[in-house]
Amino acid sequence: MKLGIIDYPTGKIGEGKAGVEETFEKLSRAKVDIYTPFFFERNKPYWELIEPVMKQARKRGIAVHASVECFCRWEHVGDAPERNYQLGTPELIPERLKQLPEKESWRCPSWPENQDEVLRLIKRLANDYDFDGINLDFIRFCNSEILRRSPCVCAACRKARLQYLGKEVLTHDEILMPAFRAEMNGNEYLTFKSEKMYKEIQYRNKVITGVVRKARKLLKKDQALTVDGRANYFRDAIFEGQDWAEWAKEGLVDMVRAMSYSTSFEYFSKAYVDEHVKIMGNNRARLCEIIGKGSSAGKLSTAEMIRQIEYALAAGVETIYIFAMGSLEESDIDALSEIKR
């Protein structure tokens, strides 16, 4: 078993060297193998954190994979708002979702300029620093719940759509099956018409796979490329252009970190782990499950966290990540250390 931890260390700036040392003291006690920090807050860089982090990591034998939020949360989003996701039919978006695009500052991957910004950052991290790997977060079109109701209508998407559909904008009737709604896990989901959406989904996957392919070429030979994958492969990942199973099969990525956040053991085990193992097949060694100790899905107790880890290991998953460092308590550190023995 390999154990990884995801962290947002930007809050440790004010604590200086002591804050970083305290983090790595906990990582060592938990017997962590891989540390994945975000050195950015809304992609505002905190370059000064890198040196003390790498010094502690090398001292303690912990690998570091720097994480990049690719098409989301850019600090300078106001510089080019036209390159953000553009909502086409706001009247069809539930109230709980309407603020997401603006709140998360979604950058549309259709824009070559947005792709270039991501690739420039990856190149700098890969070439200028001694990271063991680079992780790609938000490497996708955002977000399936909204895209199902309203595909992006920014200028770049309109231009692309003319090439593969012969029209700039899809109507709602062309996207959704009329009067059909499905209930799943307490949420409402809509089904879509495959005739038109096939080309839309194919285009998204072509764009995102192209970015991943370019990112792979920017890394040094000994650096790993990992991606944070949507846990529901068929409902979310493919729809958003994130075909992580194919990336693993082709060898574009060294590890798929499935974001399997759930407080329900039944859902985690059956809908996530079991499905991921089947989907990955012979590429199972490239599969990692991220367990949400404290995530958007809620919080797990120490016992619940360990139960999920043990299930994933028994299913053949060899690498486990915990999200996130800030949610770990002393009992969690002790339990992780014990399971690593």
pTM of the model: 0.93
How far apart (Å, rounded) are the C-alpha atoms in residues 68 and 290? 16
Give pLDDT tens digits for 147-182.
Answer: 888 899 999 999 999 999 999 998 777 776 554 455
What Cα–Cα distance (Å) separates residue 13 from each residue in 48, 125, 179? 8, 19, 52
- The mean pLDDT value for 226-235 works out to 96
pLDDT reading at 189 higher than 60: no
Is 126 within a domain?
A: yes
In the predicted model, what is the mean pLDDT of residues 242-257?
A: 97
Please give the pLDDT value at position 310: 98
User: Is 169 a member of any domain?
Assistant: no
Report if residue 28 sits inside a domain: yes
As given in the structure block, the two tokens for residue 99 are: 């603020």
Tell me whether residue 303 is in a domain.
Answer: yes
Q: Is the pLDDT of residue 227 over 80?
A: yes
Is the predicted pLDDT of residue 77 greater than 70, yes or no?
A: no
**Taking all residues of the chain, what is their mean pLDDT, rounded to a whole number?**
89
Residue 225 has pLDDT above 60, yes or no: yes
Which structural domain, as residue segments, surrounds residue 40?
A: 2-144+196-339
Domain harbouring 234, CATH code: 3.20.20.80
254 domain residue, yes or no = yes
- Asked whether residue 207 is assigned to any structural domain, the reply reads yes
**Is 152 a domain residue?**
no
188: pLDDT strictly greater than 60: no
Number of domains in the chain: 1
Predicted pLDDT of residue 198: 86
Q: Sign of the CA dihedral 79, 84, 88, 94?
A: negative
Estimate the crossing angle of helix 302-314 against helix 330-339, to 10 degrees: 20
Q: Domain for residue 151, yes or no? A: no
Report whether pLDDT(184) > 60: no
DSSP string across 153-184: -SHHHHHHHHHHTSSS---HHHHEEEEEEEEE
User: What percent of the chain clears pLDDT 90, i.e. is strictly above it?
Assistant: 69
